[in-house]
Amino acid sequence: MKTIAIYPNINKDESAQVMERIRSYFADKQDRVRIVMSRSIAEMFNCPEYGIDDLDNEPIDLGLSIGGDGTLLGVCRKLYTRKIPACGINIGRVGFLTDIELTELESRLDNLLNGEYQVVERTVISGSVLSQGNRRMLGHAINDVVIGKGGLSRMLSLSMRIDDTMINDYKADGVIVSTATGSTAYSLSAGGPIVNPSVPALLITPICPHTLDARPMIIPDDEEVQIYIAAVHQDIQMTFDGQESFQLLPGDVVYIRKGKNPARIIKFGDKNYYDTLKSKLWGNSK
């Protein structure tokens, strides 16, 4: 019997309608699948029979998110250290990562139940900081780690090294270090290139640099990016996938590198990366 954990975005109205369709689909399949959710979330969606007390430690076969890419990224970060794959139902705007559209929901649930899918591995990057003599891990990201200014901050002064080799000094609004998966996220908006997520690479994209020589870079994903924060008063935030944020101090050194474990994302064989690019970026117009 397969166990599927469901993680709906509670801030999206459409989540309730999707949960109703999921509940209806699985109603006569209880001999083949067990559905679990956090008890409080299950009660919120009027599905108390799915509720359990310790979802984070429950043995499951896959996680199913309901939301946009951000919701799926959050689920992947929960599950990747346990080597559990995740799949996303898209009720967001773009959905590069979420592979299930509402128009195909029931047929994709068939695929999940029958094991008709592939699990692809995506690079996870980790970010740590050396602050006042102490180095500590801050978090992990599947799309990107962003060093950016706070709400009232002026342009930032940053220095970047790669594997201890000095690369450049930046005066910019910040810098994005992303995986190939994250190349179609914030990095793309900041002028970074699109990179197929199967490419083992990290992208470094300055945000609004005040110089002509600060260009995006692509480096092998086994190299470490080191970002030195100038020792002057600056309001600087370090964010992971746009969801977790930490304050940085003047003089801090940030270290970003490939993590030990990849995230596992479920994809279906009748869709490929370039079809997704066409439909999401260009609306199939090219």
Q: Is 158 annotated as a binding residue?
A: no
Q: What is the mean pLDDT of the chain?
A: 93
pLDDT of 7 higher than 90: yes
CA distance 182 to 187: 7
Look up the CATH number of the domain holding residue 33: 3.40.50.10330
Is 41 within 8 Å of 10 (Cβ atoms)? yes
| Higher-scoring residue by pLDDT: 171, 233 | 171
State the pLDDT at residue 86.
99
Percent pLDDT > 90 in the chain is 81
Query: Are 231 and 277 members of one domain?
Result: no
State the pLDDT at residue 153.
63
- For 176-204, how does the pLDDT look when each residue is reduced to its tens digit (9 = 90+)? 999 999 999 999 999 999 999 999 999 99
Q: Is 185 annotated as a binding residue?
A: yes
Backbone angles phi, psi at 177, to 5 degrees: -115, 115
Per annotation, catalytic residue among 13, 53, 69, 241: 69
Q: Does the residue 165 lie in any domain?
A: yes
pLDDT of 171 higher than 60: yes
Query: Are 72 and 11 members of one domain?
Result: yes
Is 105 within 8 Å of 87 (Cβ atoms)? no
Query: Are 251 and 275 members of one domain?
Result: no
Q: Does the residue 286 lie in any domain?
A: no
- For 27-62, how does the pLDDT look when each residue is reduced to its tens digit (9 = 90+)? 999 999 999 999 999 999 999 999 999 999 999 999
Q: Does the residue 188 lie in any domain?
A: yes
Average pLDDT over residues 222-241: 91
User: 77-81, 136-140, 280-284: which has the highest mean pLDDT?
Assistant: 77-81
Query: Are 24 and 42 members of one domain?
Result: yes
Of 145, 162, 170, the C-alpha closest to 230 is 170
Angle between helices 105-114 and 14-26 (to 10 degrees): 50
State the pLDDT at residue 284.
59
Query: Are 160 and 234 members of one domain?
Result: yes
Query: Are 41 and 136 members of one domain?
Result: no
If you write DSSP's letter for every residue of 203-261 in order, what string do you get? EEEEES-SSTT---EEEETTSPEEEEEPSS---EEEEETTTEEEEE-TT-EEEEEE-SS
Active-site annotation holds for 241? no
State the pLDDT at residue 152.
65
Q: Does the residue 71 lie in any domain?
A: yes
- How many domains does the chain contain in total? 2
Q: Is 214 annotated as a binding residue?
A: no
Which residues have a Cβ under 8 Å from the Cβ of 64 and sit 6 or more positions away? Answer: 4, 5, 6, 7, 86, 87, 88, 89, 112
The DSSP 8-state label assigned to residue 86 in this structure reads: E
Query: Are 131 and 110 members of one domain?
Result: no
Q: Is 188 annotated as a binding residue?
A: yes
Question: What domain range is 238 assigned to?
Answer: 125-258
Q: Is 184 annotated as a binding residue?
A: yes
Look up the CATH number of the domain holding residue 203: 2.60.200.30
Q: Does the residue 274 lie in any domain?
A: yes
Query: Are 251 and 129 members of one domain?
Result: yes
State the pLDDT at residue 285.
52
- For 148-169, how does the pLDDT look when each residue is reduced to its tens digit (9 = 90+)? 987 766 788 999 999 999 999 9
**pLDDT bucket at 92, cuts 50 / 70 / 90:** confident
Q: Does the residue 36 lie in any domain?
A: yes
Query: Are 41 and 116 members of one domain?
Result: yes
